[in-house]
């Protein structure tokens, strides 16, 4: 799954979010719609209860990304995204920090940096929250990928909060860079945007 340049992300409709604790996203092959992986938010019981009273974007959460379709099989865990009060870490299956995300203050349209574990800037994600178009930029401001919303149809768009979007990288990344870029693409919706 981590040797790809494109991913289609399909959010599950949010009817059972309060019951099961968090968001779930299918990670699909954009051409065949074959399921490559699944991202499951598991915020913890206290945080889950606090979401009734507090905006979820300011609470800690954890999102686990698994290969295949079973988020109950720990042997399929690829990586996780963990937001604390102060930062967003991207960790491998053993909990080792591979990198982190850092918001850019005072940006119009939303923006954040992607760093590797050594503190090297891997990408800058710059976007337009209204139009739901984001660019991955390298340090020289060259576009190295995009995140674009995919239309799901009038019924789904009007009556649910579920999002569909495409993460596309210009070049095939190394496995660690693929994790960081896929995590950043998922974080646009799960960590920064979702209410």
Both tokens of 128, joined, read 């337009």
pLDDT of residue 21: 60
Q: Which backbone phi and psi does 3 adopt, to 5 degrees?
A: -105, 20
Query: In the prediction, which pLDDT does 160 show?
Result: 41
Residue with tokens 């080792």: 96
| Look-up of token digits 């009817």 | 15
| pLDDT at residue number 138 | 94
Query: What does pTM read for this prediction?
Result: 0.84
pLDDT of residue 20: 53
3-class DSSP state of 56:
helix
The confidence score (pLDDT) of residue 85 equals: 74
| pLDDT 10s digits, 103-114 | 876 555 568 999
Four-residue CA torsion sign, 57, 58, 59, 64: positive
H helix intervals, the chain: 17-20, 45-50, 154-159, 175-187
Residues of the chain with pLDDT under 70: 14-21, 44-58, 105-110, 129-131, 150-162, 193-195
Q: What is the pLDDT of residue 42?
A: 83
Taking only the tens place, the pLDDT of each residue in 158-187 is 344 567 999 999 998 888 999 999 999 998
CA end-to-end span of the chain, whole Å? 28
Phi, psi (rounded to 5 degrees) for 83: -100, 120
């Amino acid at each position: 799954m981590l040797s790809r340049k494109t991913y289609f992300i399909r959010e599950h409709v949010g009817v059972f979010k309060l019951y099961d604790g968090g968001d779930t996203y299918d990670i699909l092959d954009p051409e065949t719609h074959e399921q490559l992986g699944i991202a499951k938010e598991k915020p913890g019981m206290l945080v889950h209860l606090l979401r009734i009273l507090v905006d979820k974007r300011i609470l800690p959460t954890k999102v686990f990304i698994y290969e295949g379709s079973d988020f109950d099989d720990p042997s399929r865990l690829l990586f996780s995204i963990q937001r604390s009060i102060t930062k967003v870490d991207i960790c491998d299956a053993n909990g080792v920090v591979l990198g982190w995300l850092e918001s850019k203050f005072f940006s119009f349209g939303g923006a954040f940096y992607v760093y590797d574990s050594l503190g090297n800037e891997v990408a800058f994600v710059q976007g337009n929250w209204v139009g739901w178009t984001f660019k991955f930029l390298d340090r020289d401001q060259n576009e190295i990928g995009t995140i674009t919303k995919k239309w799901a149809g009038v019924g789904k768009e009007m009556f649910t909060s579920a999002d569909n979007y495409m993460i596309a990288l210009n070049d095939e990344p190394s496995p660690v860079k693929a994790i960081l870029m896929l995590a950043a693409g998922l974080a646009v919706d799960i960590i920064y945007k979702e209410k």
